[in-house]
Amino acid sequence: MAREGGYDVCRDEEFKYDYKTTISAAVFQGIEIHTEIDERTAHQLLERYVQHPNEFTLIEVDGQRKFVFRK
């Protein structure tokens, strides 16, 4: 790790590790969408970052919009 401007800076070549983890109790509660983002933009962002965006639907719960898995 190098030190630049008072901060520790990690170089890419310092991270050559591989690991595996197991999660036994995780619950997906959705991807929250801020109210400032219109529905069209929200869907565009979802398509950019999710492999299968057609598996999600946009809902509103207690005034908060979120993408959740389709049932």
Give me the DSSP letters along 2-54. Answer: EEETTEEE--GGG---------SS-----EEE-TTS-HHHHHHHHHHH-S-GG
pTM of the entire structure?
A: 0.62
Higher pLDDT, 52 or 3: 52
Query: What's the domain range around 53?
Result: 2-69
How many domains is the chain built from?
1
pLDDT, tens digit, 9 for 90 and up, residues 19-66: 778 888 888 899 999 999 999 999 999 999 999 999 999 999 899 999
